Amino acid sequence: MDKKLWEFKTRQVVYGAIGAALYGVFAWATNIFPLPAAGNITFRPAVAVLIFFGVAFGPWVGLIAGFIGNVLGDALSGWGFWWHWSLGNGLMGLIPGLAMLMIKDYRKTKDIVIAVGFGAVGIAVGMLFASLMEKVTGGIDLITALVGYFTPAFIGNLIVTIVLLPILMIAYHAVVSRRGR
Amino acid sequence: MLVAWKYRPRNTIIQRLDPRARLIFLACLFAAFSIAQIWDIRLLLPLFALSLGLYFLARIEWRDIKRVWMFILILVVFIVGINALIAGRGGPTEVLQEQSHALFQANLIIPGTTWGFTITITVVKAFFAVTQIVRMLTMAILAIPIPYTMDPAVYGVSFRRMGLPDKISFTMDLAFRFIPTLGRDFAITVDAQRARGYEVESLRGGLISRLRRLAPLIVPVTMQSIVTGEEVIDAMDLRAFGVRPRTWIRELHYQRRDYIFIGLGVAILLASIVLKLLGYGRFWMPEALINWTG
């Protein structure tokens, strides 16, 4: 199939919606089964699913799944509507999507490393954006934004991505092989 | 495991408002706080009172929302409040520079070293912390009620009628509709793994091993939803999705009260910007409080 990076057709609409719904459900579910960690670092395994959707289906799907998925997760958990964190999550999905055309074989170590690398950049940009917007909207200072918000979110999401993204990619390879598209 | 929305119909004036009016009002107030950067508590308190009034009009039961409030209060009071109190950061520079009228001073030395720092809590920093908490709580009180009072079925059509493209609005609508199905799939997967001896509640071992052991829950649900997605794409393509503008089952119509509500939001935004341009809205504290500390 001829893939185009910035295409936005039925495929992107459906996978954007599925990615968002999965992100919302997993984010909500891990609030029920929380993974304890040091300090105020929280692990959100749903982030690996978001980055996987970006890598597999492109930047639009990543952006939409992250933005809408965060709105959904907040709606399910009752946290409110925080547009800058939703947009930050969207960026976290968009940037790994830029690697879509580079991924040829979802089982190959090189392709997995590329996906994790783009995922790490996505997490950094997305969480930095959200944390810095907290500075503008909430009036917190730069150090609080970086230490209190960005660092825990970045570390937690990065660990989750390094552990779970390769598993998702290898499983997806089997699905692609079976369906032939 | 049942995935349940926080939303419940409550027959309140807040729920009778058009969802677009509520989103536009929220955007105006967030913009007022972001763009105008008001730090004068005399201007913040009326906005705080307005937010609190709207919150109580939403009539959300305490048992539904208490967990969220605990989280928000811990975040605002401990992270933002204490940071503002000790460091005075995040606000106008006069708060950082002000070292007179100290209420409390302590020298902290790192054990085993000669390194340390001095914490000085001044009356200005203490008042700034109160201002910062009021500012953050005002925004939280505005944002929190949305999931409890806005029907998930109207998000898609609301954003479409606010100018978002059809396809993105449809994606939002579709995502909300997928939630119950994926929630059910997730519950079936959890039960199936439990039947195989998987212990969901007691994930033991180190951090990495605990994360890896989530894979038997996450991978099957994700892959199954991707396979289902192909069938949905085929069905939508067969119905020529995206060829023409869509119609929506739910129609939204502004009422007079919606225009008033939007007008109020826009007025607050414009007033904040004008006050800022005229030099108002800077950090303020009562003279009496400074005089009281000598």
Residue recorded with tokens 């810095």: A132
- Mean pLDDT, range A63-78, rounded to an integer: 86
Question: Chain B, 118-147: which have a CB under 8 Å from a chain A CB?
Answer: 132, 135-136, 139-140, 143-147
More confident of the two residues B291 and A60: A60
Question: In this structure, are B29 and B128 located in the same domain?
Answer: yes
Question: Among A70-79, A160-169, B56-65, which range has the highest average pLDDT?
Answer: A160-169
Rounded Cα distance, A68 and A62, in Å:
10
Concatenate the DSSP letters of all residues of B120-164 into one string.
Answer: EEEHHHHHHHHHHHHHHHHHHHHHTHHHHHS-GGGHHHHHHHTT-
Residue A102 has pLDDT above 90, yes or no: yes
Question: In this structure, are B123 and B171 located in the same domain?
Answer: no
Please check whether residue A4 lies inside any domain of the structure.
Answer: no
Please check whether residue B114 lies inside any domain of the structure.
Answer: yes
Question: In this structure, are B69 and B122 located in the same domain?
Answer: yes
Choosing among A6, A8, A14, which should be mutated to test the B contact, i.e. which has the most B CBs within 10 A? A14
pLDDT score recorded for residue A181: 59
Question: In this structure, are B27 and B80 located in the same domain?
Answer: yes
Mean pLDDT lowest for which of A31-35, A152-156, B73-77?
A31-35
Question: In this structure, are B27 and B92 located in the same domain?
Answer: yes
What is the per-residue pLDDT across A111-156, written as a single tens digit (0 to 9) for each? 999 999 999 999 999 999 998 988 887 677 788 788 878 888 899 8
pLDDT score recorded for residue B1: 52
pLDDT mean across residues, chain B = 84
In one-letter notation, the amino acid at residue B127 is F
Please check whether residue A26 lies inside any domain of the structure.
Answer: yes
Domain count, chain B: 2
Cβ contact (<8 Å) for B143 and A80? yes
Please name the residue of chain B whose CA is at the shortest distance from the CA of residue A37: B207
Rounded Cα distance, B187 and B3, in Å:
9
Q: Which residue range forms the structural domain that includes residue B210?
A: 156-238
In chain A, pLDDT over 90 holds for what percent of residues? Answer: 60
Please check whether residue B103 lies inside any domain of the structure.
Answer: yes
Element spanning B117, H or E = strand B116-122
CB-defined contacts A:B, below 8 A = 202
pLDDT score recorded for residue B124: 81
Please check whether residue A14 lies inside any domain of the structure.
Answer: yes
Please check whether residue A2 lies inside any domain of the structure.
Answer: no
Residue B89 has pLDDT above 60, yes or no: no
Question: In this structure, are B274 and B216 located in the same domain?
Answer: no
Please check whether residue A71 lies inside any domain of the structure.
Answer: yes
Among B39, B128, B129, B122, residue whose Cα is nearest residue B81:
B129
pLDDT score recorded for residue A59: 97
| Letter string b/e over residues A53-80, b meaning 16 or more CB atoms within 10 A of that residue's CB | bbbbbbbbbbbbbbbbbbbbbbbbbbbb
Choosing among A28, A60, A71, A81, which should be mutated to test the B contact, i.e. which has the most B CBs within 10 A? A81
Please check whether residue A1 lies inside any domain of the structure.
Answer: no
- Mean pLDDT, range B59-67, rounded to an integer: 89
What is the per-residue pLDDT across B91-101, written as a single tens digit (0 to 9) for each? 555 565 566 67
- Mean pLDDT, range A56-72, rounded to an integer: 94
Rounded Cα distance, A87 and A90, in Å:
5
Please check whether residue A5 lies inside any domain of the structure.
Answer: no
Residue A38 has pLDDT above 50, yes or no: no
pLDDT score recorded for residue B88: 55
The tokens of B140 are what? Answer: 């939280």
Question: In this structure, are B28 and B84 located in the same domain?
Answer: yes
Question: In this structure, are B91 and B176 located in the same domain?
Answer: no
Rounded Cα distance, A46 and A48, in Å:
5
Domain count, chain A: 1
More confident of the two residues A69 and A77: A69
pTM over 0.95: no
- Mean pLDDT, range B233-262, rounded to an integer: 92
Question: In this structure, are B203 and B87 located in the same domain?
Answer: no
More confident of the two residues B19 and B78: B19
pLDDT score recorded for residue A57: 96
Within 13 Å of residue B218, how many CA atoms lie on the same side as its CB? 34
Rounded Cα distance, B58 and B69, in Å:
15
Please check whether residue B244 lies inside any domain of the structure.
Answer: no
The tokens of B87 are what? Answer: 């460091």
Q: Which residue range forms the structural domain that includes residue A129?
A: 10-179
Those residues whose C-beta lies under 8 Å from the C-beta of residue B155, and which sit 6 or more positions away, are A71, B19, B172, B173, B176
- Mean pLDDT, range B5-24, rounded to an integer: 92
What is the per-residue pLDDT across B183-195, written as a single tens digit (0 to 9) for each? 888 889 988 988 9
Indicate which CATH number applies to the domain containing A158.
1.10.1760.20
Residues in chain A within 8 Å Cβ distance of B25: none
Question: In this structure, are B140 and B262 located in the same domain?
Answer: yes
Residues in chain B within 8 Å Cβ distance of A77: 6, 68, 147
Question: In this structure, are B125 and B23 located in the same domain?
Answer: yes
More confident of the two residues A16 and A28: A16
Question: In this structure, are B25 and B145 located in the same domain?
Answer: yes
pLDDT score recorded for residue A39: 42
- Mean pLDDT, range B196-207, rounded to an integer: 74
Residue B72 has pLDDT above 50, yes or no: yes
